[in-house]
């Protein structure tokens, strides 16, 4: 259902002192050159030499990652039912009672009996119909003074020696935090220098961008950058925490605007698209903050693809990050700003 809301849209990125953002350049004369008298690793030699000193002095973001409670991850790790229709029984090897339709379905286990599991009172299925899913151990970081723009690697990728070049060498691990020392435009995409002779294309990276508070917003608030898939928590004008999120897929877009959290739940069951190919049933979704009708910020135990769009419209976070945001925004009128940095 479409809702008629008056929203204040954020139209400008405010570059706060926390981050020195690199300008985008076009280095066509050197882009394909690894090393010559005039060029080094895709840049004019003099420019690269100047950046090399910066890279040596600031090799990686010195930020504190928030701690992960493994016990809590276990508590929010569930079992996924197979994609096929599943018959459930009144007892192990008992009488068939009905079927569970295909879909994205998760459940807990009440008890076991041999190769059978009880997923609800008197609802038994073969354990072979289940696959265990462990909640992601990813977590965000506390922010201090960063001398350069920080980013996360969000896809397994090999860096290139020059912008637009072929990847080579070791695979960069997802969720690695890096600085962006230089941005160069190659075709329709930017390439980022993230280390000596290491360039990655922007679609493999989520950058940390900051925005100013909307008029009248004070205290603690949260900004979600849909373009970069990054959430930043603010205390007044100070950014204090940042992490990766997963917002709505293209066919289930998360709306931009300024919203108020209208409900908070430690856990909530979520389901949707009943009878359709996108049907899902998710028990005990953790640390839920509803802000746009049935759209919420919440913890996610069913995937580990943060930094990429993944949801039916909600803002997915790791369980650890969702707990942190839930505790940080400990009042009922928290503002959530959903915006795009470009």
pLDDT in tens, the chain (342 residues): 444 333 333 333 333 445 666 666 655 589 899 999 999 999 999 999 999 999 999 999 999 999 999 999 999 999 889 867 899 999 999 999 999 888 788 888 999 999 999 999 999 999 999 999 999 999 999 998 899 999 999 999 999 999 999 999 899 999 999 999 999 999 999 999 999 999 999 999 999 999 999 898 989 999 999 999 999 999 999 999 999 999 999 999 999 999 999 999 999 999 776 556 667 788 899 999 999 999 999 999 999 999 999 999 999 999 999 999 999 998 767 999 999 999
Q: How many CA atoms lie within 13 A of 219 on its CB side?
A: 11
CB distance 161 to 41 below 8 Å: yes
185/267 same-domain check: no
Angle at 135 between CA 130 and CA 138, to 5 degrees: 155
Element (H, E) at 71: helix 70-75
Q: Kindly state the tokens that stand for 195.
A: 């280390």
In a domain, 13, yes or no: no
101/226 same-domain check: no
Residue 3 confidence (pLDDT): 40
Instruction: Tell me which of 154, 183, 207 is where a domain ends.
Output: 207
228/258 same-domain check: yes
Residue 330 confidence (pLDDT): 86
In a domain, 40, yes or no: yes
Residue 23 confidence (pLDDT): 61
CB distance 92 to 116 below 8 Å: yes
Q: How many domains does the chain have?
A: 3
In a domain, 284, yes or no: yes
146/287 same-domain check: no
226/324 same-domain check: yes
In a domain, 254, yes or no: yes
In a domain, 157, yes or no: yes
In a domain, 230, yes or no: yes
Residue 104 confidence (pLDDT): 80
Element (H, E) at 53: helix 45-57
Measure Cα distances from 54 to 48, 50, 51, 191 in Å: 10, 7, 5, 18
CB distance 153 to 179 below 8 Å: no
239/285 same-domain check: yes
Q: Which of 180, 147, 153 is nearest to 167 (CA)?
A: 153
Distance (Å, rounded) from C-alpha 66 to C-alpha 73?
A: 14
Nearest 10 degrees: CA dihedral of 223, 339, 65, 323?
50
3-state secondary structure of 31: coil
Report the CATH number that the domain containing residue 110 is assigned in CATH.
2.30.30
225/87 same-domain check: no
Residue 16 confidence (pLDDT): 44
Residue 11 confidence (pLDDT): 36
Instruction: Tell me which of 152, 178, 207 is where a domain ends.
Output: 207
**Cα 204 from chain centre:** 13
Residue 218 confidence (pLDDT): 86
260/274 same-domain check: yes
In a domain, 18, yes or no: no
SS3 content of the chain, % helix, strand, coil (to 5): 10, 40, 50
115/247 same-domain check: no
146/265 same-domain check: no
pTM: 0.87
254/308 same-domain check: yes
Distance (Å, rounded) from C-alpha 89 to C-alpha 109?
A: 15
Distance (Å, rounded) from C-alpha 141 to C-alpha 276?
A: 38
144/114 same-domain check: no
Angle at 174 between CA 170 and CA 179, to 5 degrees: 85
Name the residue range of residue 283's domain. 220-339
């Amino acid at each position: 259902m479409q809702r008629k809301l008056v929203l204040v849209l954020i139209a400008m990125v405010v570059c706060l002192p926390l981050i020195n953002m690199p300008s985008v350049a076009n280095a066509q004369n050197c882009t394909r050159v690894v090393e010559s008298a005039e060029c080094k690793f895709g840049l004019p030699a003099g420019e690269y030499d100047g950046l090399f000193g910066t890279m040596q002095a600031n090799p990686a973001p010195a930020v504190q990652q928030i701690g992960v409670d493994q016990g809590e991850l276990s508590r929010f790790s569930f079992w996924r039912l197979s994609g096929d229709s599943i018959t459930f029984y009144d007892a192990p090897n008992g009488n068939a009672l009905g079927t569970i339709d295909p879909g994205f379905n998760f459940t807990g286990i009440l008890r076991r009996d041999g190769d059978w599991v009880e997923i609800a009172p008197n609802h038994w299925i073969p354990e072979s119909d289940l696959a265990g899913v462990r909640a992601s151990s990813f977590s965000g970081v506390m922010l201090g003074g960063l001398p350069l723009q920080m980013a996360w690697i969000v896809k397994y990728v090999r860096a290139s020696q020059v912008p637009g070049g072929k990847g080579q060498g070791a695979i960069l691990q997802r969720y690695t935090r890096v600085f962006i020392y230089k941005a160069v435009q190659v075709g329709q995409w930017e390439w980022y220098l993230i280390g000596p002779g290491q360039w990655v294309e922007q679609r493999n990276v989520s950058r940390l961008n900051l925005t100013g508070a909307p008029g009248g917003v004070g205290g603690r608030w949260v900004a979600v950058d849909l373009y970069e898939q990054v959430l930043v928590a603010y205390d007044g004008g100070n950014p204090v925490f940042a992490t990766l999120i997963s917002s709505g897929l293209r066919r289930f877009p998360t709306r931009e605007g300024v919203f108020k959290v209208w409900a908070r739940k430690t856990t909530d069951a979520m389901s949707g698209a009943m009878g359709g190919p996108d049907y899902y049933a998710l028990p005990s979704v953790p640390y839920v903050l509803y802000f746009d009708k049935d759209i919420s910020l919440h913890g996610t135990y069913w995937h580990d693809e943060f930094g990429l769009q993944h949801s039916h419209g909600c803002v997915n976070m790791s369980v650890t990050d969702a707990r942190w945001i839930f505790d940080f925004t400990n009042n009922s009128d928290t503002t959530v700003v959903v915006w795009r940095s470009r």
